[in-house]
Every structure is written in structure tokens, then in C-alpha cells.
Amino acid sequence: MDGQPSHIDQIKQNNIGTVYRLIDQYGPISRIELSKKAQLAPASITKIVRELVDAHLVMETEFLDLGFRGRPATGLRLASESWHFLCVSISLGNLMLGLRDLSGKLIVEDVLPLPANNDKSFLDRIVDEIDSFFSRYQSCLERLTAISITINAIVDPTKGLIYSSPYYQVQELPISEYLHRRTGLPVFLQHEITAWTIAESLYGAAKNCQNIIQIVIDENIGAGVIIAGQTLHSDNRSVMEIGHIQAEPNGELCQCGNLGCLETFANISHILSRTKQLLTTAPDSLLNYESLTIESLCQAANKSDILAMDIIRDIGVKIGRIIAIMVNLFNPEKILIGSPLNACQQILYPIINECIKQQSLPVYSKQVTLVATEFNNSGTLSAVASVKKALYDGSLLINLMKG
């Protein structure tokens, strides 16, 4: 097919991406050490490094090599500071715009209102806010390389389409194509949970892990799965909708039309609503003496408040059952929990671990580790993942090197 790289070009792209990734992860690093880690011949390393240096993507620097005496060694590190990209995070009612350099370092970030109802179209509002952002921070802009978008909606990352977002009444929106035509930049689109999972695997709590499950317990319940280093459903409109697995057969009616979905029981709004109802029968609870928030619920549980502990334990059992099934399906090394409930993880995690131990295959359950995510997904950091991934596979690097 026209436009597809040849086999030789693909190998070159992969090798450039590998070298760049290793410099990012281990720099400053010598060419000799780089050759060993990349498993490429020294001559190949020399050629690739020269191309990256000439493109001002990598630079030489002196560093102390503890293995050798004498003057400092010459190593390689990224030259990220003058290369920028725009991160766009779209959530319910808010738009976050962040300018970052290729290392992921945040230059500036704005949080803007994005109400559901407005006279302008959804796309026009996004474009207007991006234009205003660039105008406000023109003095900060260096070479702009890409735009990365995350959204909690049904998306097709390969086609750059937002298929469905009920909150914003969006259907079949080719947002990546539109922004690419307008800016000339490559545009990446990803579901926010998938992007968050990739971010944790690249530079977070699951760095260097090949098999992970991430469970998100927030206003939405969802999961991201990486198996053998590959993200499940990263390139199509499917996501791990664990929030719509039935947790209570006779439970509440969910917005999806089913009864007793996990999301009707374990999302933050429902947790607080249920706690408020139960407080009428628990006059001695600490929660009667302060504003009810997810933070105060976790604090009360940590102080051994009986009602708060019971609620957290109940959530742990229901989440734990789902995770145990996923452990049997995917055999992960790590399970990450991304949630405000991490504030009482000393109560929540043992319950989940017990479910995994009792309901998963012993050969799988004994090797898995349950940990909190490193990030809370409150800013634009997850949007960095798509750009990092494109740098590490070489596809974005090739574009940048062509100028």
C-alpha cells in the first residue's frame, strides 16, 4: 500500500526508536553501553546517533563513569528542551491544555471550563481554546511537534475518531484529521484510561513491566490491560468496560440499561450517596461531624470508623471479585489501582488481595503485586504517553528528522 514504510525502512525506524528510548531511560549513556543495551553493532549506533545529533534531538555531554578513572566520559542525552507538544485532556465539564517538552516536562498548563451545553459546536470550542492557548503562551513555544488528546469516550485511535461522547453529544467526530489539517501536526487520540495505563507502564508504577492490569475507581470504573508489552484495545474503539459487569443482580438501574453494574455501586458518587444513607443508622460515626467527601471517608476508615471501614471493605470485595477473574484471564505481574480510595489502601488492598488469593489460580495469584498508580490522572500527564510511544517506536522521530 502506498505510504507504508518498506521492510528496510521499518527496521530503520524501529532501531532509531530503540536508541532514542534507551538514551531517554539511561542517559547520559556512552555509545558502547548503548550498543550493548540496543544489541546493535557499534557502526549502526554511530550512524543513528549522528542522525539524531544532526537533527538536534540528542546531544553529547560529559559525565562521570564510575567504571573508569580519569577525565569524564562522553555520553549521550536527549535534547528535549526546544521540542514541544500540546496535551489536550477532555473530561466532563473541563478542558485541560498543557504544553510539554519531549521529556514530558510541563511548561505551562491551563484548566478551562467546557460545559456540555453551548451555542458553539464541541469541535469549534476545542479549536478556539487551543488557538487562545497558543496566543497566550506564544513566548513559551519552541518547535511544536504533535498534539495528544485524551478523552473518556468511545474512540478509535487509529482513525482519530471520537465515536461517541454522550455528555457532549458527539458522534463520529474526526477530530484528529481536522486538527492535523489545521496545524499540519501529527495528532494522537486515546481513551483516557488506556493512555493512563500506557503512561504508568512507560514512566510510572509499572515501568519495565510487560504484563499489567490497571483498575480505575473514580466517577467512572474502567480498566487498562497490557500483555507482553502490547496494550489491549489500544488501536480500536473497544475498552475494558468492567464498570458494566454485574456486581449486584438486584441492584440499581445503570445508565447502560442493566441492573447492578459495578459502576452503580463503586463509583465515587454512588459511594458517597450510599454512605450518606447509611449515616442515618450510625450516629457514632466520625463522618457525622464533617463534610462528607471521599477524602473524609478514607480518613475515617483509617481511624477505624466502623461504618467507613465496612463501606471500603464492601467495595474491596466487589472490585476484588472482578480483579480475580482478570488475573485468571491475563496472568499479570502487577495490578495497579488508580483511585481516590488509595488514601485508605491499607484497608482496601488486603481485601482485594484476599479475593485474588481465594478466587484466582494459585500459580497466578502468588506472583502478582497490587500497587497504587504513580499518577492521579488529574492533569495532562497521561496524554504524554501517546507521544512517548510514537517516539519510542520511531514513527514520530522519522517525521521530526525530516523537518
**Domain-located, residue 131:** yes
Final residue of a domain: which of 78, 93, 123? 78
Question: Are 141 and 249 contained in the same domain?
Answer: no
User: Which CATH number is 214's domain given?
Assistant: 3.30.420.40
pLDDT score of 388 more than 90: yes
Tell me the average pLDDT across 302-328: 95
User: Which CATH number is 21's domain given?
Assistant: 1.10.10.10
What was the pLDDT predicted at 242? 83
**Domain-located, residue 338:** yes
Question: Are 230 and 367 contained in the same domain?
Answer: yes
pLDDT score of 2 more than 50: no
**Domain-located, residue 1:** no
Final residue of a domain: which of 22, 52, 78? 78
**Domain-located, residue 344:** yes
Question: Are 100 and 118 contained in the same domain?
Answer: yes
What was the pLDDT predicted at 144? 94
pLDDT score of 1 more than 50: no
Residues 182-200 pLDDT 10s: 999 999 999 999 999 999 9
Owning domain of residue 64: 7-78
**Domain-located, residue 294:** yes
**Domain-located, residue 353:** yes
Question: Are 170 and 222 contained in the same domain?
Answer: no
pLDDT score of 206 more than 90: yes
Final residue of a domain: which of 26, 57, 78? 78
Question: Are 74 and 87 contained in the same domain?
Answer: no
**Domain-located, residue 248:** yes
Tell me the average pLDDT across 287-310: 96
The three three-digit cell numbers of residue 333, written as one number: 505481574
Count of domains for the chain: 3
Tell me the average pLDDT across 222-248: 79
Question: Are 65 and 105 contained in the same domain?
Answer: no
pLDDT score of 18 more than 90: yes
What was the pLDDT predicted at 96? 97
Question: Are 350 and 211 contained in the same domain?
Answer: yes
What was the pLDDT predicted at 154? 87
Tell me the average pLDDT across 26-50: 94
Question: Are 304 and 392 contained in the same domain?
Answer: no
The residues facing 253 across adjacent strands are: 259
Length of the chain equals 403
Question: Are 359 and 386 contained in the same domain?
Answer: no
CA distances from residue 133 to 99, 136, 325, 343 in whole angstroms, order as listed? 9, 5, 44, 34
Question: Are 219 and 341 contained in the same domain?
Answer: yes
Question: Are 308 and 213 contained in the same domain?
Answer: yes
Tell me the average pLDDT across 221-233: 88
pLDDT score of 334 more than 70: yes
pLDDT score of 68 more than 60: no
**Domain-located, residue 202:** no
Residues 98-142 pLDDT 10s: 999 999 999 999 999 999 888 889 999 999 999 999 999 999 888
Cis-peptide into 113, omega within 30 deg: no
Question: Are 248 and 163 contained in the same domain?
Answer: no
